[in-house]
Structure 1
Amino acid sequence: MLPDNWCVMTNDQIGISMRIGATVFFTLMVLCVKLTSGTIPLGQVVFFRSVIALIPLVLFLRLTDDFPGGLSTKRPFGHVTRCLFGAAAMFASFATIRYLPIAEATIIGYVTPIFTMILARIVLAEQVTATRWIGVALGFSGILTLVLPDLTGTKANEEYLIGVSLGFITAMLTSVAMIQVRSLTKTENAGAIAFYFAFTCAVLGAATFPLGWSAPSMEEYALLVGAGFAGGIAHILMTLGYKYSEASKLAPFEYLSLVFAVLADLMIFDIVPASNFYVAAAFIFTSVSFVALKDRRKPKPAQT
């Protein structure tokens, strides 16, 4: 007979499970967006992804008693800044995966913590160790390893150059948004930050309607709705993950996003990464590890 506590999980195990689940749903979201590329306008994709994501998000906030009371804010202009940069990052991100395989767009996204670290030093005056600067150097070395072989100046690589440029723009915009989030979390409810971001993206996406939206097929509607639900669920799971476990313990599981991205490219689009991709991945994994190292080193309590 099994003991009564055979299925009990520790907080860390719950947190890790939630983080892995979030990674799976983020990959599904990106895959849905990728499959609409070339047929659905970018603003229309952003609208559906954001407005549909509000459904699971609001349900989650209701279950946690954070809706509507948790939406009150003391810093409305802070939310505006965060939302505008975050929305710009979403537009740039969805544009990136129209030009690049999912795996390559994902790996370029790994430089976001590096840009965030640099901005944290400039904007928030956070201390940056020599180890983290080494991480910066390794990260950029990885990106150069990834993109230089494909940027030979031939016309066949123009779209790749656009995709890489958009990837860097996405990483920079995301890093600015993350700095704003760090600042907002000191006084604001996490649910409010997520809600206002999704709402703003939905409004900005809707604003592109006069530019011309397409009439999606049933399959395309399913992909748009799927992107919204997957994005909303991923955000909830990620939030729960950080509730149950420390960020430093969850950081290594972010690497799974690259594994899932490679599998999606291989299984859906029959894309096999070139050898330089794996070398770049090794550089960037090392750089992210350096950036996360400080978070893992916690000061010991003073002896009394």
Structure 2
Amino acid sequence: MTPLHGIALKLSAVFVFTIMASLIKASSDIVPPGEAVFFRSFFAMPIIIAWLAARGDLSTGLKVQRPMGHVWRGLIGVSAMGSGFTALGLLPLPEVTALGYAAPLLTVIFAAIFLKERLRLFRMSAVGLGLIGVVVVLWPRLTLDGLDDAAALGVACILFSAVLRALAQIHIRRMVATEPTAAIVFWFSMTATLFSLLTIPFGWEWPGTAGLVQLISAGLIGGVGQILLTSSYRHAEAAVLAPFDYASILFAILFGYFFFDEVPTAMVLIGSGIVMLAGVIIIWRERQLGLKRGKARAGMSAKW
């Protein structure tokens, strides 16, 4: 592995996904979220198919052992995407990004509930700290003056999206036992595209030339982001790369300021810092436990 290469790919993926989110936000007053999900999913597919073909994994990506697992993955993922896209149209980009950090914290909780992973006091404390950070970000919205109907819907949508993203991570952990990564990546884009078509009766709009370019670009860029993200894990361990997810708040602040005239509040910055600290603590602890388990396995091997 070449960790620096992996880190560069991960940062590139985070940057690209922030561009994608900005394009979706820019088109949020043109098309409904379900239509945005369609463009994001459908136009990512040519990029993903070309990538799988170049790697020689296309045939693998088409084969599945448990089809319904992919259907559920698509349903959960497209619901998370639609909720997140709705929030982008209602809240500032940095705030959506900060509240989205609840997803990895919830993943830890759900892993204990659904996968029976042991949740020790150290991790529970870190998760609690992270959730406090989320509340800090939300605090201005919890006052009567700060929580209008649009903001309330936006907060509900991004938190719901975080819950669904955490559930998707748990589902993927189960899927990898029988399904290759190529199949999970390919069929998610396929099922997300098909599920998004079910939103047509709720009102799709022709986006016009500028909107069409934005939406198609979001899909293509999203496909590139998925490839960069997947490729990063071939060069570095997940524990090394995970902290770089938090670079997204820096990119979101820059994009929000220059393209949407959004300035993050002090509470958003403070809350984001608390959540990032909690995330780094969890990552560090998992790495330490991983090293201990590795030493224990090495010791057992030495005995034999």
Confirm whether residue 15 of structure 1 aligns to residue 11 of structure 2.
no
Name the CA shift for 1:156/1:252 in 2 (closer, same or farther; >3 Å).
Answer: closer
Distance 1:96 1:197 in 2: 22
Counterpart position of 2:20: 29
- Secondary structure at the aligned position of 1:208 is classed as helix
**Which letter does structure 1 place at the counterpart of 2:299?**
A
Deviations 1:102-143 (A, max 9, x none): 111111111111111111111111111211111121111111
Q: Which residue of 2 aligns with 1:219?
A: 210
Aligned to 1:68: 59
Q: Give the Å deviation of 1:217.
A: 1.5
Partner residue, 1:117: 108
Structure in which a larger fraction of residues adopt helix: 2
Q: In the alignment, residue 233 of structure 1 is paired with which amino acid?
A: V
* Number of the residue aligned with 2:279: 288
Question: Aligned residue for 1:140?
Answer: 131
Contact 1:41–1:214 under 8 Å retained in 2: yes
User: Match of 1:59?
Assistant: 50
Residue of structure 2 aligned with 1:185, choices 150, 155, 176: 176
Tell me the CA shift for residue 224 of structure 1. Answer: 0.5
> Distance in 1 between the 2:275 and 2:69 partners?
31
Query: For residues 157 and 68 of structure 1, what CA distance do their matches in structure 2 show?
Result: 50
Contact 1:46/1:91 (8 A) holds in 2: yes
Question: Equivalent residue for 1:7?
Answer: none
Where does structure 1 lack aligned partners over 5 or more consecutive residues? Answer: 1-9
TM-score (norm 1): 0.93
Per-residue deviation, residues 41-62 of structure 1 (Å, max 9, x unmatched): 2211111110000010000000
| Preserved CA contact (<8 Å) 1:32 1:223 | yes
- Describe how 1:248-267 pairs up with structure 2 within 5 A: 248-267=239-258
Is the Cα contact below 8 Å between 1:151 and 1:157 reproduced in 2? no
From 284, 299, 302, the equivalent of 2:299 is 302
Q: Percent identity?
A: 33
How big is the shift at 1:66?
1.0
The residue identity in structure 2 corresponding to 1:293 is: W
In structure 1, how many angstroms separate the alpha carbons of the residues matched to 2:60 and 2:103? 32
Deviations along 1:237-274, whole A, 9 cap, x unmatched?
Answer: 00000111100100121111110001010110111111
Amino acid at match of 1:235: Q
What CA RMSD, in Å, does the superposition of the two structures yield over aligned residues? 1.4
Measure how far apart 1:156 and its partner are. 5.9
1:145-224 pair list within 5 angstroms: 145-154=136-145, 157-224=148-215
Instruction: Give the Cα–Cα distance (whole angstroms) in 1 for the partners of residues 184 and 221 of structure 2.
Output: 18
- Deviation, 1:213, is 1.6
- Write the deviation string for residues 200-250 of structure 1: whole angstroms up to 9, x where unpaired: 111122222233321221111110011101111000000000111100100
Once residues 178 and 169 of structure 1 are traced to their aligned partners in structure 2, the CA distance between those partners, rounded to angstroms, is 14
Query: What is the CA-CA distance between 1:155 and the residue it aligns to?
Result: 7.6
Q: Decide whether the 8 Å contact of 2:98 with 2:137 is kept in 1.
A: no
Specify the code of the residue in structure 1 equivalent to 2:173. Answer: R
CA distance in 2, matches of 1:110, 1:210: 32
Equivalent-residue separation in structure 2 for 1:287 and 1:140 (angstroms)? 9
Q: Tell me if structure 1 keeps the 8 A contact 2:141–2:147.
A: no
**3-state DSSP of counterpart to 2:232:** helix
Q: What is the aligned residue count? A: 295
Aligned mates of 1:272, 1:108 — CA distance in 2:
16
> How far off its partner does 1:295 sit?
2.5
> Is 2:243–2:283's contact at 8 Å kept on the other side of the alignment?
no
2:29 maps to a residue whose letter is G
Equivalent pair of 2:51/2:227 in contact (CA under 8 Å): yes
List alignment gaps of at least 5 residues for structure 2: none
For residues 118 and 272 of structure 1, the distance between their equivalents in structure 2, rounded to whole angstroms, comes to 32
One-letter amino acid of the counterpart of residue 278, structure 1:
L
Q: Distance in 2 between matches of 1:154 and 1:70?
A: 50
C-alpha displacement at 1:294, in angstroms?
3.0
1:237 pairs, out of 207, 212, 228, with 228
